[in-house]
């Protein structure tokens, strides 16, 4: 085995272990000192491929005539001869020791962005029957600029932009990095819009929102600037521009609402300059959007399908008394049962039901003035011992609420507000009773506690 000499500025040797098993004569060669290394990533596109083939045999010699190197399945080095396409100025091989063959392959063509490069090395030692045949890979760095591959309007004010690779989620949602221009001869007027917000839909798609609805079927061009991919490569022209059409609301079958056709034929015949057509086209877009809103009434009036803004309006119209931060699903549920909640107001079953609805908790309502021996209507029996109850009206109409779990601060506030709203006006909510949390004492423990720490006396 040859001796490998390495110069280090400093080194500390903790231990040395002697290999007591001698290398077998004629052992199969192995790959060492790879550059790029196996599975290495972010390699420059102009990188050379360097490797060494070494044998562990006591007197082994690498057989140059039996040594082949393939790059991406193409023969690059054959028995000491570099093949076409791999004869760059750095291409060379040498034998620093008899048992080591050092090869540098300099491809004349750069690798592509994010390419997974496969290197296969075949070799053997002189007189050896064992053959080295190993393939390893490394990955080229992403140096290609991101490409805007598709733009499609999803609805009147939402546009989805798709890229050919993962895009930086920070720069891509900056509204100022996006612009929309109108296209066409304006025979059919197209409204001017601007992007006011953006959000990440996936690693490669961004949803953009306009300030006003786009013209249905209007011709637009979107431009992205100052965006980068996840590797920091900036987008550049012409891959940052795409044309698209404004979203067309669905039109019921059989509807014909072309305002221009509804004008008298004489007016249309006299419209040689098409000024009247352009004017009516502006009104036609507005009429189309109004018809779309009317068509959506069947969805808007249903709490299960209405957009959140309309659900909020429904709750406001019903006089929603609960100022809780609710999800859209819970808002829909509340809109369905709010009238029933009003009907239960002023009853204990109403308090219990509304707490269960909002918090999913089971509670009990108990009279505050109830004491041992006091008669209870419907429960107490004649002839049994009893005590005279209080005559204070404030105590006669007072109650406690008992819950079986320890509440969070938010749950406690919500439960209290529900009880205060749902209870009869003349009653008094005195206490919210929760389970007692056991006191955990921070006592001293031999070998663990430290001086200067607070402790409790048991």
pTM summary value:
0.57
Type and span of the H or E element at 311: helix 308-317
Task: Tell me the C-alpha distance between 261 and 61, whole Å.
Answer: 93
Q: Could you tell me if residue 49 is inside a domain?
A: yes
Which residues fall within 8 angstroms of residue 418, CB to CB, at 6 or more apart?
322, 351, 354, 355, 358, 359
Q: What is the pLDDT of residues 104-133, one digit of tens each?
A: 999 999 999 889 999 999 998 887 667 899
Q: What is the pLDDT of residues 375-415, one digit of tens each?
A: 666 676 766 656 555 666 677 788 999 999 999 999 999 99
Which residues fall within 8 angstroms of residue 75, CB to CB, at 6 or more apart?
68, 69, 83
**CA neighbours within 13 Å on the CB side: how many for 368?**
17
Q: Could you tell me if residue 378 is inside a domain?
A: no
Per cent of the chain over pLDDT 90 is 57
Do 226 and 269 lie in a common domain?
Answer: no
Do 101 and 115 lie in a common domain?
Answer: yes
Note the pLDDT of residue 3: 47
Q: What is the pLDDT of residues 13-58, one digit of tens each?
A: 665 555 444 444 446 889 999 999 999 998 988 999 999 999 876 5
Note the pLDDT of residue 409: 92
CATH number at 235 reads: 2.60.40.1220
Do 128 and 45 lie in a common domain?
Answer: yes
User: Which of 245, 277, 310 is where one domain is finished?
Assistant: 245
Q: Could you tell me if residue 405 is inside a domain?
A: yes
User: Which of 90, 114, 139 is where one domain is finished?
Assistant: 139
CATH number at 401 reads: 3.30.300
Q: Which of 26-35, 142-151, 341-350 has the lowest mean pLDDT?
A: 26-35
Position 248 confidence tier, pLDDT thresholds 50, 70, 90: very high
User: Which of 139, 161, 192 is where one domain is finished?
Assistant: 139
Q: Could you tell me if residue 21 is inside a domain?
A: no
Q: Could you tell me if residue 11 is inside a domain?
A: no
Q: Which residue has the higher pLDDT, 78 or 442?
A: 78
Q: Which of 13-22, 198-207, 332-341 has the lowest mean pLDDT?
A: 13-22
Of 186, 247, 183, the closest CA to residue 215 belongs to 247
Pairing of strands 158-163, 74-78: unpaired
In the chain, the number of structural domains is 5
Task: Tell me the C-alpha distance between 420 and 403, whole Å.
Answer: 16
Q: Could you tell me if residue 3 is inside a domain?
A: no
Do 120 and 176 lie in a common domain?
Answer: no
Do 69 and 129 lie in a common domain?
Answer: yes
Counting every residue, how long is the chain?
458
Do 282 and 356 lie in a common domain?
Answer: no
Q: Could you tell me if residue 2 is inside a domain?
A: no
Q: Could you tell me if residue 382 is inside a domain?
A: no
Do 203 and 287 lie in a common domain?
Answer: no
Task: Tell me the C-alpha distance between 424 and 426, whole Å.
Answer: 6
Give residue 407's domain range: 345-372+390-458
Do 43 and 84 lie in a common domain?
Answer: yes
Do 431 and 453 lie in a common domain?
Answer: yes
Do 69 and 161 lie in a common domain?
Answer: no
Of 98, 97, 115, the closest CA to residue 107 belongs to 115
Q: Report whether 48 contacts 104 (CB < 8 A).
A: yes
Do 337 and 403 lie in a common domain?
Answer: no
Q: Which of 179-193, 237-251, 334-348 has the lowest mean pLDDT?
A: 179-193
């Amino acid at each position: 085995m040859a001796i490998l000499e390495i110069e280090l500025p400093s080194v500390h040797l903790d231990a040395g272990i002697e290999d007591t098993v001698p290398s077998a004569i004629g052992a199969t060669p192995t790959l060492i000192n790879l550059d790029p290394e196996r599975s290495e990533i972010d390699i420059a596109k102009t990188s050379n491929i360097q490797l060494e083939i070494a044998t562990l045999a006591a007197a082994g010699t690498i057989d140059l005539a039996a040594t082949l190197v393939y790059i991406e399945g193409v023969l690059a080095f054959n028995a000491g001869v570099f093949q076409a396409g791999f004869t760059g100025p750095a291409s060379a091989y040498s034998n620093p020791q008899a048992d080591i063959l050092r090869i540098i392959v300099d491809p004349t063509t750069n690798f592509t962005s994010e390419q997974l490069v496969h290197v296969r090395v075949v070799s053997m030692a002189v007189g050896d029957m064992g053959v080295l045949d190993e393939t390893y890979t490394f990955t080229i760095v992403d140096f290609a600029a991101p490409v805007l591959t598709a733009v499609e309007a999803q609805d009147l004010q939402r546009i989805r932009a798709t890229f050919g690779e993962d895009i930086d989620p920070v720069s891509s949602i900056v509204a100022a990095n996006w612009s929309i221009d109108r296209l066409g001869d304006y025979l059919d007027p197209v409204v001017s819009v601007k992007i006011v917000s953006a959000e990440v839909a996936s690693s490669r798609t961004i949803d953009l929102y306009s300030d006003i609805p786009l013209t249905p079927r209007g011709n637009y061009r979107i431009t992205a600037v100052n965006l980068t991919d996840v590797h920091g490569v900036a987008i550049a022209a012409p891959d940052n521009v795409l044309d698209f059409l404004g979203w067309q609301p669905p039109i019921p079958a059989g509807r014909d609402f072309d305002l221009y056709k509804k004008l008298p034929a004489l007016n249309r015949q006299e419209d040689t300059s098409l000024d009247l057509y352009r004017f009516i086209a502006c009104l036609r877009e507005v009429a189309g959007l109004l018809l779309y809103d009317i068509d959506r009434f069947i969805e808007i009036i249903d709490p299960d399908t209405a957009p959140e803004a309309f659900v909020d309006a429904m709750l406001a119209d019903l006089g929603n008394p609960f100022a809780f931060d609710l999800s859209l699903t819970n808002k829909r549920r509340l809109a369905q049962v709010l009238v029933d909640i009003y009907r239960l107001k002023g009853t204990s079953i109403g308090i219990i039901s509304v707490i269960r609805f909002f918090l999913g908790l089971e509670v009990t309502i108990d009279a505050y003035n109830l004491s041992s021996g006091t008669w209870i209507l419907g429960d107490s029996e004649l002839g049994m011992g009893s005590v005279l109850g209080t005559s204070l009206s404030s105590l006669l109409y007072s109650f406690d609420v008992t819950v079986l779990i320890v509440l969070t601060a938010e749950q406690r506030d919500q439960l209290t507000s529900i009880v205060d709203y749902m209870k009869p006006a003349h009653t008094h909510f005195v206490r919210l009773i929760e389970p007692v949390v056991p006191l955990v004492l921070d006592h001293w423990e031999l070998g663990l506690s430290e001086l200067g720490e607070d402790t409790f006396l048991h």
